[in-house]
Structure 1
Amino acid sequence: MNLLRQLAIVFFFFEVTVYCQYEMHRLGEDYDEESDDDYSPPFYFHPTGEDGIPSRHGPLGCAQECFCPLTFPLAMYCDNRKLEAIPKIPAHVQQLYLQFNEIEAVTAHSFANASNLKEINLGHNRIKSHKIEHGVFAQLPNLLQLHLDHNDLEDFPFPLPNSLERLLLGNNAISRVEAHAMEGLINLTMLDLCHNQLHDSSLKEQLSQMSKLMQLNLCSNRLESMPPDLPSSLMHLSLENNSISFIPDNYFKKFPKLLALRISYNNLQEIPYDTFNISSLVELNVGHNKLKQSFYIPRNLEHLYMEDNEFEYINVTLMCPSIDPIHYRHLTYIRLDQNRLKEPISSYIFFCFPYIHSVYYGEQRKPDGQMVQLKTQVFRRFQVDDDEEEEEGGDGEEHEPEGQEQGRTEENFDPYFY
């Protein structure tokens, strides 16, 4: 009996041990699955020689200072490595990443065999214009994208290959654009020149030949007038934070594809009534100017930003002179905070712009400079499906979705802004 009892005890402990291991295995599976889905951040490892791991992973070769992953055999990562010079680029490389280094010069020697390059990122370095060897980029016939932002450039770089599609030159000290410097850039679709020192004369007759240009960023420069001779292909135009005080009549008539216009933080005091009568325009930002008078709102405009101006009254009739019951206007959002409004906009605005979801008043300035809030609620409208309207009895009343707080005010409204 003692032997049987001892065997029973041993068998019992064996079962307990197996069961516990099974449960721990299940617990581990559950934890790993949850961790992978919700908690594991993406991890990008670019090994260097300092890690004791060789950097030459690809069969086609790689610069010793850089990393060439097997998963991207045509890319070479040399970013954020405190490099002072550009390494020799192997012939097979198409994407070259050299951002966040201490590079001061760009020489043709590094690119002697790199005719297959399609993208070069030299942003966030210390490159000066006179340290770029003449023609170094022009010898790359397949180059599509060039990043030279956040450097110390004083001049617009040239010559550049006519294959180029995207050119980023923001956050430099560019004040000069040599004559014909932009010639040949017939395939350029995006040009970023924000945060430089460009004057009106710098861009005169320089951009007109870029017949495929869709996005032009000229924010934070020293412009005092609207840039002349821009190509008609433009879809996005950024002119924020300049000193522009006047928009000529019919200036935007030559941009039939313009979708977004940002001209905030300028010195505009008056805008010709139908300046923005562009059928394609979807977003318009004229905030942080000195405007007092309303202007015409095109039918397809959806987002309108007019904050921090001198508006005391919004004349809806000027914005919308007539109502078309067939072709509704698409305006959905208006931002009006930091003006001098004494009362909300007339309710006529909701008949003229039936798609409006919200009008943000925020705080308004009093004559003594104090900020006050209008005694009004932020108007919000939510579209209701036809099935839901039938269930509600078709009474035509608008209801907020469940969980939405009724009677919201400006204090708890978080306006959309970019």
Structure 2
Amino acid sequence: MDISIKLSIIALICLSRGLCQYEGYDYETDYDPEPNEPYHPPVQFTQNVDYSDPQIIYTNDCARECFCPPGLIMYCDNRKLKNIPKIPSRIQQLYLQFNDIEAVTMKSFINATSLKEINLSHNKIKSNKIEVGVFAKLRKLEQIFMHHNDLEEIPFDLPGSVERLSLAFNKIVRINDDDLQGLVKLTMLDLCNNHIDNVKSKTLNKLGRLMQLNMCNNKLHFMPASLPPSLMYLSIENNSISNIPDDYFTNLPNLLAVRMSHNNLEEIPTKMFNLPNLVELNLGHNKLQHVFFIPRSLQHLYIEDNELESLNMTIMCPKIDHSNTNRLTYLRVDQNKLKAPISTFAYLCFPNMQRIYYGEQKHAEGETPKVQEPMLTHPSVSEEEDEDEDDDDREGIAEYRHEEYGVEDNFNYYSY
């Protein structure tokens, strides 16, 4: 009996201990992961990480006269400076316009090995105050703007990396044979508003990538010699040119725009402007007496203020080709000596025409001025569009932009 009692007590104790092992167990929680649930590793935090932009450079090397924001630009414009401060090696764009700077010396640029653009416009820089070789050492320089200064010559020994060179509004008299030597990457040359009277040398022809040449408001009596085949924009308004050689444009197939208003042209050979890509032609304010052949590519033609007495459509458009129509859309002929309205044949020949500005014609003293009103418009132009464009056309302004041809029109950019 005693033995059986003792065994029962021992069994009861073991059973109670086994149950106690699961007393705190949560039977409703499943600790096995879901079979489709993605595994996310624990997040680890790294101390002392620099989250700043690695391209922004913070330095204290800026000249006290200037402002250098974090980066690669140095602003020294409009600060009444008489000398160019030292340029840090990191600077790529330097703005020094609207100051009283007269000289460009080596000591200012001795560390400027990264410069790509220099704007020295609207200063008082003289040619004899530019130290020899100062630009030659700037091997990365791409753009030089020195318009509105007192230069008498083109700066010498420019680096071959230069792509855009603006020397407008100076006192330059001539282009010497070696002035632009080595500028194999030059695409834009602006020499407007100087005193240049002739370009005889083959200097320009050596500029194999030149796309834009601006020589407006000079004293040219002849067309610039030997232009490179790469040229796309030619601006020689406000000169004294009276003649264009017959074969002048033969080797310039890439021309998009030619601007020769305000010259002394009296005659244009019939096929002179038969160019495959020409889009804009401005011959206004000359002395032309006869019209000429209009190439199919031409869209804007300005021949106002000449001596034209008639518009001979047989010469302007000798053949109508419906599969390859003329693209002319704007024609300005006011201030000529036209005595009759423009023939409606013009719209057959130029089916894309949107506007012909006839305006007031020249007349002898005591004669009633000849005016054709309203301005001729293509039948496809709506009355609403006609009203919207009246103001601009009455001023004789037909703004043409070259963006659709993938090249920016930079004939006038003197806001630099």
With normalisation by structure 2, the TM-score equals 0.79
Structure 2 residue aligned with 1:350, among 347, 351, 354?
347
The equivalent residue for 2:21 is none
Q: CA RMSD in A?
A: 2.1
1:106 aligns with 2:104: yes
Deviation at 1:228, TM superposition (A): 1.2
Does the C-alpha gap of structure 1 residues 69 and 330 become closer, same or farther in structure 2, counting only changes over 3 Å? same
Select between 408-417 and 164-173 the one with higher mean Cα deviation.
408-417
Deviation at 1:373, TM superposition (A): 4.5
Structure 1 residue aligned with 2:223, among 215, 221, 226?
226
Does the C-alpha gap of structure 1 residues 275 and 409 become closer, same or farther in structure 2, counting only changes over 3 Å? same
The equivalent residue for 1:323 is 320
Structure 1 residue aligned with 2:189, among 179, 188, 191?
191
Q: Distance in 1 between matches of 2:278 and 2:209?
A: 18
- Correspondence list, 1:267-346, <5 A: 267-346=264-343
State whether residues 336 and 362 of structure 1, in contact with CA within 8 Å, keep that contact through their aligned partners in structure 2.
yes
The equivalent residue for 2:67 is 67
The equivalent residue for 1:257 is 254
The equivalent residue for 1:94 is 92
With normalisation by structure 1, the TM-score equals 0.78
- SS of 1:130's partner is helix
Q: Distance in 2 between matches of 1:404 and 1:295?
A: 28
Task: Tell me how many residue pairs correspond in the alignment.
Answer: 343
Does the C-alpha gap of structure 1 residues 160 and 68 become closer, same or farther in structure 2, counting only changes over 3 Å? same
Output one character per residue of 1:144-195: Cα deviation in whole Å (capped at 9) or x when no partner: 0001110000011111000000000000000133331211011000000001
Does the C-alpha gap of structure 1 residues 404 and 358 become closer, same or farther in structure 2, counting only changes over 3 Å? closer
Does the C-alpha gap of structure 1 residues 83 and 304 become closer, same or farther in structure 2, counting only changes over 3 Å? same
Question: What amino acid maps onto 2:205 in structure 1?
Answer: S
Q: Distance in 2 between matches of 1:369 and 1:93?
A: 67
- Point out where structure 2 has 5 or more consecutive residues left out of the alignment: 1-56, 400-416
State whether residues 363 and 370 of structure 2, in contact with CA within 8 Å, keep that contact through their aligned partners in structure 1.
no
Does the C-alpha gap of structure 1 residues 335 and 102 become closer, same or farther in structure 2, counting only changes over 3 Å? same
Question: What amino acid maps onto 2:280 in structure 1?
Answer: E
Q: Distance in 2 between matches of 1:414 and 1:263?
A: 19
State whether residues 344 and 376 of structure 1, in contact with CA within 8 Å, keep that contact through their aligned partners in structure 2.
no
Deviation at 1:203, TM superposition (A): 4.5
Does the C-alpha gap of structure 1 residues 100 and 198 become closer, same or farther in structure 2, counting only changes over 3 Å? same
Identity of matched residues, %: 53
State whether residues 358 and 372 of structure 2, in contact with CA within 8 Å, keep that contact through their aligned partners in structure 1.
no
Question: What amino acid maps onto 2:168 in structure 1?
Answer: G
- Point out where structure 1 has 5 or more consecutive residues left out of the alignment: 1-56, 382-396
- SS of 1:251's partner is coil
State whether residues 296 and 327 of structure 2, in contact with CA within 8 Å, keep that contact through their aligned partners in structure 1.
yes
- Correspondence list, 1:121-132, <5 A: 121-132=119-130
Deviation at 1:401, TM superposition (A): 5.1
- SS of 2:74's partner is strand
Q: Distance in 1 between matches of 2:172 and 2:384?
A: 54
Question: What amino acid maps onto 1:337 in structure 2?
Answer: D
Output one character per residue of 1:49-75: Cα deviation in whole Å (capped at 9) or x when no partner: xxxxxxxx94253111111123xx100
1:152 aligns with 2:150: yes
Q: Distance in 1 between matches of 2:91 and 2:182?
A: 25
1:207 aligns with 2:204: yes
State whether residues 166 and 191 of structure 2, in contact with CA within 8 Å, keep that contact through their aligned partners in structure 1.
yes
Does the C-alpha gap of structure 1 residues 104 and 402 become closer, same or farther in structure 2, counting only changes over 3 Å? closer
Deviation at 1:376, TM superposition (A): 3.2
State the structure with more CA Rg.
Answer: 2
Question: What amino acid maps onto 1:101 in structure 2?
Answer: N
- SS of 2:249's partner is helix
Q: Distance in 2 between matches of 1:60 and 1:299?
A: 60
Select between 57-66 and 79-88 the one with higher mean Cα deviation.
57-66
Question: What amino acid maps onto 2:59 in structure 1?
Answer: P
